[in-house]
Structure 1
Amino acid sequence: MGAAAGVAGGAVVLDPVAFPAAAATSQSRTITGHIAYGAPDWVYVPIEVPAGVNRLTVEYSYDRPPAPPGQNGNALDIGLFDEHGIDLGDDRGFRGWSGGFRTGFTVSASDATPGYLPGPVRKGTWHIIFGPYTVHPQGLNWTATITLEYGPDGPAFRPNPAPSRATGRGAAWYRGDMHLHTVHSDGRRQPAELAAAARAAKLDFIVSTEHNTSSAAGVWGEFAGPDLLIIDGEEITTRNGHFTALGLPPGTWIDWRYRAVDGALARFVQQIHRAGGLAVAAHPLATCVACGWKFGYAGLDAVEVWNGPWTLDDEAVLAGWDNLLVASVRERREDWLPAVGDSDAHSEPQVVGLPHNVVNASGLDRRAILDGVRAGRLWIAESAAVDLSFTATAAGRGAGIGERLRVADDAPVTVTLQVSGAPGCAARIVTDQGQRFATVLPAEGTAAVTWTTVARNSRYVRAEVRRQTPTPTTADTMVALTNPIFLGN
């Protein structure tokens, strides 16, 4: 056993598992191990794969004794790297990840378990990667059975990626959910079911964000269409929080094997940017183990302030994001961190499109959508039943969501919020001073609300629409919210 070279953070490599030269159509070996409490983040099991193998299969299990009060039990994730190695960020070696969602996987040239990449099983040192997500104080005992099958490769898998453009309506506002899962990670929806749910929610686009794997990119072409743009991405699940990579070229993989103290995040955000994508902090205050965001926001392109049904976590993230807006104004920065909202839907009854983003884009294509998100030209909706527009005007000039209205500090600015589909909801206008105006929309849910301010008193304005119905953790329910319009020179 030794330390894993080239991998950030704690990792160990166990003794290799060797197979004799092929003597039959298949060979299996069962191995066991113990992971102590306080384990490293990653445990690698080398597999010496001989020539002539056409399929590799792994099945694993581990003990799950009841957890002591106030502590965690055992949870063990799994994935695979091939003969190209396990160095941090070297995407040549990555062959798949299923986390704790499956008890095994298989890979061959023709097919692979969802979450894993089809391709030849070549001779060399492969690695099972175990991720001890949580470990019982008495430790974790695991068992893995590795099976190699021999013979010629079957027909090569042919990826069918989604096209980068759909028909669209030209320059328009497009609705899309940018954080979604299928069976290619820990979701239970098939890709066809997710695409159908997106269409039922009246979305124009979705972003596929499977945990730590690019495998879904190979199938989305079958389910996209002129009416639905499907954009590839990934949810990178580190031990110190999750972030999404939006708009990756099909097959691009972003590594997750680091913590905040490793100082590695900037490297992978740069990789996302070089690939033409965006990096978004996901559910920053989620309470699940390792879900809370610990890296800070430097270099990121947006923050997910609303994740799934509205909760106290979202309320707190929204308040923190608003403080970031104030800081950008105080420091007179033109760059600022836009807000996005996504369903993070994994399976029924989680609702695809609750919430989703309404993005002002020049067309329904990958580049235009990402440009709109990066610029903050978007607002967030509970569902497609809700619509709004939000503008600020002064001295014959106007600006919309994500833009700046350049105006003298004392010039009157008229802020207009038009809403439909929100009966009896409260419409609010928020500035760097907090909520400055509120009114209740009529029962029919359609109204135009205006408010006048000056830039000296309102360095930015943004809008919220809330249903006056409490959730289990909040006093009311968010229905829609906008990114800001900045005021002043």
Structure 2
Amino acid sequence: MSAPTRRTLLTTGVASALTLGGVSFAHADAGGGDRTETVGGTLPPGSPDYVYLPVEIPRGVREIHVSYAYERPAVPAGTQGNALDIGIFDQRGTELGGEGFRGWSGGARKEFFLRTDAATPGYVAGPLRAGTWFVVLAPYTVAPQGLTYSVTITLRFGAPEPVVRPAYPPERAEGRGRAWYRGDSHLHTVYSDGRRTPAEVAALARAAGLDFLTTTEHNTHAGHGAWAELAGDDLLILLGEEITTRNGHVLALGTDPGTFVDWRYRARENRFGRIAREIRRAGGLVVPAHPHATCIGCGWKSGFGEADVVEVWNGPFTPDDEVSLAGWDAALATGRWTPAMGNSDAHRDPDRVGTPQTVVLADDLSREAILAGLRAGRSYVAESSSVSLAFTATDGRGRAAGIGQRLRVAADEPVTVRLTATGAPGRTVRFVTDQGVLHTSVLPGAGEGTVEWVTTAAYATYVRAEVRHPATLPPLPGALAAFTNPVFLEISPRTR
């Protein structure tokens, strides 16, 4: 198969896409046995984001098996080599919205299968109906020499097994009533590019002291049915997806079971508003993930106007998290309030589940209550379950506001900001406002203590707290051990 010319490239509603010549099994013998076809070609630099290989599937297919390979030639230093992702859509087609979506493994696997009763993790089991299916190839990066690939499709004929209906985890756990609950809402397993099973992740979540977790596989919902038996009165399991576009990643957090969210668009197509509305209709939150990550395609470029929450801290604290924190704080100073959260994004050993974790005040341990607390910003982020914070602002009459709340006071009325921390020995507490860091104090060696600072609404439109490790490269601050969403100080209209 020759390389595509410009005349064969189509810019469609699904980013830039190319449809190749098809593979037909239309005259295959449905009486039994296997049929295999292999096709290949070379994609040039500048290829479209998605290349569709139509496959004619006849009646009587019991299993579809697909494998692929591609060349990885040496490239000059500083030049990206070949990386090719793969997935599949069924006879319902490839339109944006994913009605025909049947699975995605990105670059994590070189083969997959689908049957009525089972499928490779990341792929959706179910009926294998006759019609035109589409293997989708996604050339993530292409070497100067081009990307030479081959795809092998095997059909196995015979009577199908009964369809297995997925079971999903319950939306409520026993909990402790209105309380602070700890969670990690960015996690991967073998259902995308992780190396851990759901059972292993659930065990690690419990060991990390978490009350809830959210499963967020890359570009697939196929793992939603793998968690039902792993939930319990001590662990609420929410469902979601990490939508991995070419211009950044975003979490669909806490969506309805079985919700698939499409990823085939770029920021320039101005489609993310529609996608965000779909996430909310499915009951979920829109959470841009690691917005300043430096990996290819990871930095978020679709803006924050549709965000319900933003993931400011992702995994072990790094300079790109510091940039995300600064960007989030700058938005606060302009009056754009989007609550912040932190998650581990754990994939495999030695990634630590629950580092960091978001601690949210919720009325109970349920999907509805946890999402409501996150949406309201009634939360803080800690590096582990050993760190706990309590943060309030109180006026002279004893009226108080907590994390994510607003306190209305006279412009010059003194307001006492108070942080109580445990599990942070020798860490530095910083109170941050729209002007910057206005107060610092070091916690005692025992790691427990209370820090107070007095300000006014005229001086600080909001106050948030950070707990930092000792600096390693002064004057740059040390890594975060914890931080809070802000308390807002509003000047009462009657006393302006």
Common fold by TM > 0.5: yes
What CA distance in whole angstroms lies between the structure 1 residues aligned with 2:9 and 2:197?
Answer: 38
Task: Show the 5 A alignment for 1:225-264.
Answer: 225-264=232-271
* TM-superposed deviation, 1:92: 2.0
Q: Deviations over 1:391-436 (max 9, x none)?
A: 0011221100000011111111000000000000001111111001
Letter in structure 2 aligned against 1:356: Q
Residue 368 of structure 2 is matched in structure 1 by 367
- Which of 41, 59, 67 is matched with 1:59 structurally? 67
Letter in structure 2 aligned against 1:307: N
What SS does structure 2 have at the residue aligned with 1:217?
Answer: helix
Cα 1:254–1:474 change in 2 (3 A) is farther
What SS does structure 1 have at the residue aligned with 2:228?
Answer: helix
Give the RMSD, CA atoms, in angstroms. 1.4
What SS does structure 1 have at the residue aligned with 2:41?
Answer: strand
1:158 aligns with 2:142: no
Residue 430 of structure 1 is matched in structure 2 by 432
Residue 34 of structure 2 is matched in structure 1 by 26
What CA distance in whole angstroms lies between the structure 1 residues aligned with 2:410 and 2:263?
Answer: 47
Residue 14 of structure 2 is matched in structure 1 by 8
Letter in structure 2 aligned against 1:406: R
Residue 154 of structure 2 is matched in structure 1 by 147
Residue 321 of structure 1 is matched in structure 2 by 328
Residue 80 of structure 1 is matched in structure 2 by 88
Contact 2:26 2:56 survives alignment (8 Å): no
* TM-superposed deviation, 1:254: 0.4
Identity %: 55
What CA distance in whole angstroms lies between the structure 2 residues aligned with 1:190 and 1:250?
Answer: 19
* TM-superposed deviation, 1:477: 1.6
Contact 2:468 2:477 survives alignment (8 Å): no
What CA distance in whole angstroms lies between the structure 2 residues aligned with 1:347 and 1:471?
Answer: 29
What CA distance in whole angstroms lies between the structure 2 residues aligned with 1:108 and 1:474?
Answer: 55
Contact 2:73 2:145 survives alignment (8 Å): no
Letter in structure 2 aligned against 1:172: A
Task: Show the 5 A alignment for 1:333-482.
Answer: 336-394=337-395, 395-470=397-472, 475-482=477-484
Contact 1:459 1:488 survives alignment (8 Å): yes
What CA distance in whole angstroms lies between the structure 2 residues aligned with 1:246 and 1:413?
Answer: 36
What CA distance in whole angstroms lies between the structure 2 residues aligned with 1:366 and 1:64?
Answer: 44
Residue 332 of structure 1 is matched in structure 2 by none
Contact 2:70 2:84 survives alignment (8 Å): yes
* TM-superposed deviation, 1:299: 1.4
Cα 1:77–1:472 change in 2 (3 A) is farther
Q: Deviations over 1:364-407 (max 9, x none)?
A: 00010000000000000000000110000112211000000111
* TM-superposed deviation, 1:6: 5.1
Letter in structure 2 aligned against 1:347: R
Contact 2:188 2:347 survives alignment (8 Å): yes
What CA distance in whole angstroms lies between the structure 2 residues aligned with 1:22 and 1:150?
Answer: 9
Residue 486 of structure 1 is matched in structure 2 by 488
Residue 494 of structure 2 is matched in structure 1 by none
Letter in structure 2 aligned against 1:27: R
Give runs of ≥4 in structure 1 deviating > 4 Å: 1-6, 471-475
Contact 1:22 1:150 survives alignment (8 Å): no
Cα 1:473–1:191 change in 2 (3 A) is farther
* TM-superposed deviation, 1:158: 2.4
TM-score (norm 1): 0.97
What CA distance in whole angstroms lies between the structure 2 residues aligned with 1:69 and 1:148?
Answer: 42
Letter in structure 1 aligned against 2:16: G
Q: Deviations over 1:273-319 (max 9, x none)?
A: 11111001100111111011111101111111100001110111101
What CA distance in whole angstroms lies between the structure 2 residues aligned with 1:225 and 1:472?
Answer: 46
What SS does structure 2 have at the residue aligned with 1:320?
Answer: helix
* TM-superposed deviation, 1:131: 0.6
* TM-superposed deviation, 1:4: 5.5
Contact 1:209 1:235 survives alignment (8 Å): yes
Letter in structure 2 aligned against 1:56: I
What CA distance in whole angstroms lies between the structure 2 residues aligned with 1:239 and 1:347?
Answer: 23
What SS does structure 2 have at the residue aligned with 1:194?
Answer: helix
Letter in structure 2 aligned against 1:385: S
Q: Aligned pairs, how many?
A: 482
What CA distance in whole angstroms lies between the structure 2 residues aligned with 1:192 and 1:5?
Answer: 42
What CA distance in whole angstroms lies between the structure 2 residues aligned with 1:49 and 1:3?
Answer: 25
| Residue ranges of structure 1 left out of the alignment (5+ in a row) | 329-334
What CA distance in whole angstroms lies between the structure 1 residues aligned with 2:158 and 2:474?
Answer: 58
Residue 285 of structure 1 is matched in structure 2 by 292
What SS does structure 1 have at the residue aligned with 2:204?
Answer: helix
* TM-superposed deviation, 1:471: 8.4
